[in-house]
Amino acid sequence: MTAYTKAETLLKVEDISLSYGEKKILRDVNFEIRNITRPDVRQGQVISLIGRSGIGKTQLFKILAGLKEPTSGKVSLDNGNAIKAGDMGVVFQNYYLFEWRTVYKSLELAAKKNPELKDSGIKTAINRYAEDFNLTEHLSKYPQQLSGGQRQRASIIQQLLNGSEFILLDEPFSGLDVLVLDKVKELLLKISLTDERKTLIIVSHDIVTTVAVSDTVFVLGLEGNKPGATIKKEIDLCERGLAWQKDIHKEPAFIKTIEEIKSYL
Ligand SMILES: Nc1ncnc2c1ncn2[C@@H]1O[C@H](COP(=O)(O)OP(=O)(O)OP(=O)(O)O)[C@@H](O)[C@H]1O
Ligand SMILES: [Mg+2]
């Protein structure tokens, strides 16, 4: 098995609960994301939060992004500071883009926020990502001239360019055709390998695709008759030898893990 270490905590989620009036959506949500290191590999993290439709994934996503105040509990970074809006790159379920700007202008605006990209580097970075994500011919278009899959890829690049260490993606695999899906999977894996501290958090009900690109899975579900969803199970895919492999979905141990995850939903 590949050698790896789980080092310092990058993100800590403590006792999160969320209620709307009498209705409890989330209860006692606790988990930690730690920095994975491997000898001789620049290694980021890919975490997935899996749960049935309507269970509270998008609500938790907004809390993690600092866009929604939980009823109780907190989310903090490794420096102990509470998370706030803007700390994380966010790719929403509906792929938000500036409708009145061309794709290139939107991407340029995002890149200008990245202290690591200087003037000449911006153009190069945009063109490189556009090429990787098959968007080169669409850079001069406005968002309403793009297909759903193209919007989604533009939205992912936008978050990559702004340089956040955390990128949260809500249902990044929905509505993609199989070829584009493979490409997006491959790119997410690649992104996680570009920077040791880069952490992708994928929120999804597409179990197979999400688990195939992740190193750690948190299953969000209901426990018995208790109201509100909580983390029912954490699965360390590194420990099981199921992380960082391109065609992992064909492995019997992977298929078994998928069945196990389904049993917690
Ligand atoms: N403003 C609100 N007021 C009351 N209930 C809400 C509000 N927003 C969301 N909910 C409820 O919170 C629950 C969780 O919604 P959420 O969008 O997080 O589900 P999800 O797991 O992301 O589902 P999907 O997989 O379909 O995207 C739902 O039952 C929803 O009706
Ligand atoms: Mg959702």
Tell me which long-range contacts 146-153 makes (C-beta under 8 A, separation of at least 24).
146/103, 148/95, 148/175, 149/175, 149/176, 149/177, 149/180, 151/95, 151/97, 152/91, 152/95, 152/176, 152/184, 153/180, 153/184
Give distance in angstroms: CA of 49 to centre of ligand 2.
Answer: 11
The answer, as to whether pTM is greater than 0.95, is no
Q: Answer whether 231's CB lies under 8 Å from 219's CB.
A: yes
Give distance in angstroms: CA of 260 to centre of ligand 2.
Answer: 22
Which residue has a Cα nearest atom 1 of ligand 1?
Answer: 20
Give distance in angstroms: CA of 51 to centre of ligand 2.
Answer: 9
- CA dist 145 and 99 (Å) reads 10
Are residue 172 and residue 76 in the same domain, yes or no? yes
Give distance in angstroms: CA of 52 to centre of ligand 2.
Answer: 9
Are residue 126 and residue 239 in the same domain, yes or no? no
Are residue 155 and residue 58 in the same domain, yes or no? no
Which residue has a Cα nearest atom 14 of ligand 1?
Answer: 56
Give distance in angstroms: CA of 53 to centre of ligand 1.
Answer: 9
Which residue has a Cα nearest atom 19 of ligand 1?
Answer: 54
Helix (H, G, I), strand (E, B) or coil at 46: strand
Are residue 76 and residue 116 in the same domain, yes or no? no
Number of domains in the chain: 2
In a domain, 134, yes or no: yes
Q: What is the CATH number of the domain that holds 77?
A: 3.40.50.300
Instruction: Give residues (CB < 6 A) around ligand 1.
Output: 20, 25, 51, 53-59, 205
Shortest-distance atom of ligand 1 to CA 171 = 27
Q: Answer whether 214's CB lies under 8 Å from 48's CB.
A: yes
Are residue 244 and residue 184 in the same domain, yes or no? yes
Q: What DSSP designation does 82 have?
A: B
Which residue has a Cα nearest atom 4 of ligand 1?
Answer: 20
Domain assignment of residue 151, given as a range: 99-163
Are residue 140 and residue 173 in the same domain, yes or no? no
Give distance in angstroms: CA of 5 to centre of ligand 1.
Answer: 36
What is the rounded end-to-end Cα distance, in angstroms, of the chain? 28
Helix (H, G, I), strand (E, B) or coil at 41: strand
Are residue 84 and residue 110 in the same domain, yes or no? no
- CA dist 137 and 195 (Å) reads 28
Are residue 26 and residue 80 in the same domain, yes or no? yes
Shortest-distance atom of ligand 1 to CA 53 = 25
- CA dist 166 and 241 (Å) reads 24
Shortest-distance atom of ligand 1 to CA 51 = 21
pLDDT value of residue 133: 85
In a domain, 94, yes or no: no
pLDDT by residue for the chain (265 residues), tens only, comes to 678 899 899 999 999 999 999 999 999 999 999 999 888 888 889 999 999 999 999 999 999 999 999 999 999 999 999 999 999 999 987 777 888 999 999 999 999 999 888 888 999 999 999 998 889 999 999 999 998 888 888 998 998 898 889 999 999 888 777 887 888 888 888 877 777 778 999 999 889 999 999 999 999 999 999 999 999 999 999 999 999 887 888 999 999 999 999 999 9
